[in-house]
Amino acid sequence: MNRADFKMYSEINEVPSVFAKIDSNESQFQAAIDLIKKHKPTNVVLVARGTSSNAGQLLKFLIEVELGLPVGIASPSTVSLYGARFVFEDTLVFTLSQSGQSPDLIAVVSAAKDGGALVISATNNGTSPLATLAELHLDLSAGEEKAVAATKSYSAELFVGLKLITSLKSDNIVNFPELISTTKENLQVDLSKTLAELDPTRPIVVIGRGYGFCNVRELALKIQETSYIPVQGMTTSDYIHGPIATLSEATQIFFISPSGTPSESLKDVAARVRGAKSKVFWIGNGNFALPSETVIPGGSLNSEAQSVVADSVLMQLLTLDFAIKNGTNPDSPRGLQKVTLTK
């Protein structure tokens, strides 16, 4: 079978049109901006699970860097298992979810509202419980996603986060048409060399830092979901604080390095990985790669955050093709359902 036989492929190809639809919906972003400026939150708590939690990592970095507000990650079990009550005055709770239906997310958002939080949601279902609980809902506009492995909804979450936070900063102008055009170009990148060299029988580690950390976690998750291979996904900083001890010649390392990534965030760990003679792949900016290393070139956007959004489709296509190579069905991974209802 080839790419065109899978729903996952058609949904990845919808990403640029999803971006364009989100970008055209200026009114929902203006409403969110007005609401946030009215409430003047002093801190932010993100509520999400799985792929949406990975997308939330970009939102976390954007809020802390662009707005200077501290961002925490909610632990839904504090409410669903332990019945915690919150004092969340002056707190913005931002919840991300494809379905908007998970009971533990609903529980923690309800508790946050009871504690005085301003709640904004971003889901792919405007009638879902998380959408209706929120004071304001941002529509991911991805349309129905049939493949179990989330693709266009993940990319949509990244895009929504980028557009919202940069819109809050009047001096941060983003050329969204250019981002959409770059995403289209990324859909045509040749992955054949990487696929020929990537060995499913050898350990795979995905590392990166900063804005690209969301894609680090998402690539590791997607390979596990669709090819049933255990994959580590972590920051370069965390990797050198222990897990690097497992590094060997058999290890296959993916560096997530979107255009605009500061070189100092990868330089030292790249040198240590090369010392172990591991197989090295790069996704995004190949400027840090040696000639012997394999590069999947991403967009050449000047902004690291924008490059992360555009490069999300590269990971999705790689995951799809790798699953096909390994003889698994990426549309319907074993043991998984499209909507995960965590309690």
My answer on whether 313 and 283 are in the same domain is yes
Percent of the chain with pLDDT over 90: 82
Q: Which residues pair with 96 in a beta bridge?
A: 122
My answer on whether 304 and 253 are in the same domain is yes
My answer on whether 214 and 142 are in the same domain is no
* Cβ(322)–Cβ(227) below 8 Å: yes
CATH number at residue 80: 3.40.50.10490
My answer on whether 256 and 296 are in the same domain is yes
d(CA 39, CA 137): 16
pLDDT at 286: 85
Per-residue pLDDT for the chain (343 aa), expressed as one digit of tens each? Answer: 799 999 999 999 999 999 999 999 999 999 999 999 999 999 999 999 999 999 999 999 999 999 999 999 999 899 988 999 999 999 999 999 998 888 999 999 999 999 999 999 999 999 999 999 999 999 999 999 999 899 999 999 999 999 999 999 866 678 999 999 999 999 999 999 999 999 999 999 999 999 999 999 999 999 999 999 999 999 999 998 889 999 999 999 999 999 998 877 788 889 889 988 999 999 998 888 999 999 999 999 989 999 999 999 999 999 999 999 999 999 887 655 555 556 5
| Structural domain for 15, as ranges | 3-174
Identify whether 282 is part of a domain: yes
My answer on whether 154 and 258 are in the same domain is no
d(CA 309, CA 54): 12
My answer on whether 256 and 128 are in the same domain is no
My answer on whether 149 and 228 are in the same domain is no
d(CA 325, CA 59): 33
DSSP state of 63: I
From the list 274, 303, 262, 299, the residue with the least C-alpha distance to 284 is 299
My answer on whether 146 and 260 are in the same domain is no
Identify whether 163 is part of a domain: yes
Identify whether 181 is part of a domain: no
My answer on whether 23 and 125 are in the same domain is yes
Residue range 297-309, pLDDT digits in tens: 999 998 999 999 9
Pairing, β 294-297 against β 204-208: unpaired
Residue range 106-142, pLDDT digits in tens: 999 999 999 999 999 999 999 999 999 999 999 999 9
d(CA 234, CA 218): 10
For CA atoms 263, 268, 274, 279, give the dihedral sign: negative
Give the number of domains in the chain. 2
| Full-model pTM | 0.95
